[in-house]
Structure 1
Amino acid sequence: MSIATTTHLNFRGTARAALEHYQSVFGGDLAVVTYEQAGALTDGAEPEQIMWGQVASPEGFRVMAYDVPAERPWEPGVAPFFVSVRGATFEEVEAYWTRLAEGATVLVPFAASAWSPGYGMLVDPFGVTWVLDVAVAYEG
C-alpha cells in the first residue's frame, strides 16, 4: 500500500493554460479531461473547461488542477487549492476517508464515480478541502 498527496489547484477557465505553463517549466506529461469528456457538463458554456488535469514529471514534480464550475462559488485567492490523496485500492482510500470525514463537511460522498472506483470530497474541521480517490490508469 502507498498513497501520494498532490497539490490540486483551483481556477475558473484558466486551468489548461496554467497546466501548460507548469509543464513548460518542469517538463513531464500533461493529461487533461474536460467536463464534456467526463460526461459532467452542467453549464453549456463550459464544455472545454478542465474537470481534471495533471502535470507529472519523471523527476517527481506533480500538480493537479481544474476549472471550478460556474455553479460553485469561486474567488481568486480564496480556497485556491485542494489536497488530493490517491491510493491503490478502494479499501485503503476508504479507510482514510472514514477517519478524515469525522467532524468534516462532506461535499461529495466517497463512492464510485465515472473515473474511479472510489472518489469523494470533504472539508475538514480546519477548513481544508480534501479530494480522495482510487488511482486508476488514464484511458483517455
Structure 2
Amino acid sequence: MSLTTTTHLNFRGDARAALDFYASVFGGTAAVVTYQDVGNVQDPAEADRVTWGQVTAANGFAVMAYDVPSRMPWNPGENAVFVSVRGDSADEITALWEKLSVGSTVVQPLEPAQWAPLYGMLKDRFGIVWVLDVVAAPYNG
C-alpha cells in the first residue's frame, strides 16, 4: 500500500485566487471544481466558489483547497497549521521564498539557522503560514 498526504486549505471565497497564486509560485496548474459544477448550489452568491481545488506540480508540490460555504462555521484559527516546503537547493528555496513573500508578512526572514542552511517563515496574503527551509545534511557526530 502507498499513501500520500496533501495539505488541504480552507477558505471563504479566496480558494481560487490562492490556488492560482500557489501555482504561479510552485509551478503546475490549478484544477478547480465549483459548487455550480457539481450541482450543489445552496446560495446563488456562492455558485462559482470552489468546492474542490488542487495544484500539482512536476516538482512534487501539491496542495488542495476549497471555500467553506457560508452555511457552515469557519474560523481560520491562529497558528493552527504551517505548510512546510523543504528542498535540497538554497537557490530553489530562495526563488520560492521571493515569489511567495509578495504581499506577505515575514515572521522569520529566510536566513541560515542552527538546524538548516536556510530557514524562513511567513504568513501569505491569504493568511496561510509557510515554513521554507533547505534540508540540512545528516549529523554523523
State the aligned residue count. 81
TM-score for the superposition, normalised by structure 1:
0.54
Equivalent residue for 2:51?
Answer: 51
CA distance change for structure 1 residues 18 and 41 in 2, over 3 Å: closer, same or farther?
same
Which structure has more relative contact order (CA 8 Å, sep 6+)? It is 1
CA distance change for structure 1 residues 37 and 69 in 2, over 3 Å: closer, same or farther?
same
Equivalent residue for 1:13?
Answer: 13
| Corresponding letter in the other structure for 1:68 | V
Question: In the aligned structure 2, how far is the partner of 1:24 from the partner of 1:18?
Answer: 10
Q: CA deviation at 1:4?
A: 1.2
Question: Aligned runs of 1:28-67 on 2, under 5 Å?
Answer: 28-67=28-67
Question: In the aligned structure 1, how far is the partner of 2:38 from the partner of 2:32?
Answer: 10
Question: Aligned runs of 1:1-140 on 2, under 5 Å?
Answer: 1-77=1-77
Equivalent residue for 1:96?
Answer: none
Q: CA deviation at 1:30?
A: 1.2
Q: Which runs of 4+ in 1 moved over 4 A?
A: 78-81
Structural RMSD (CA): 1.8
> Highest CA radius of gyration, 1 or 2?
2
Equivalent residue for 1:106?
Answer: none
TM-score for the superposition, normalised by structure 2:
0.53
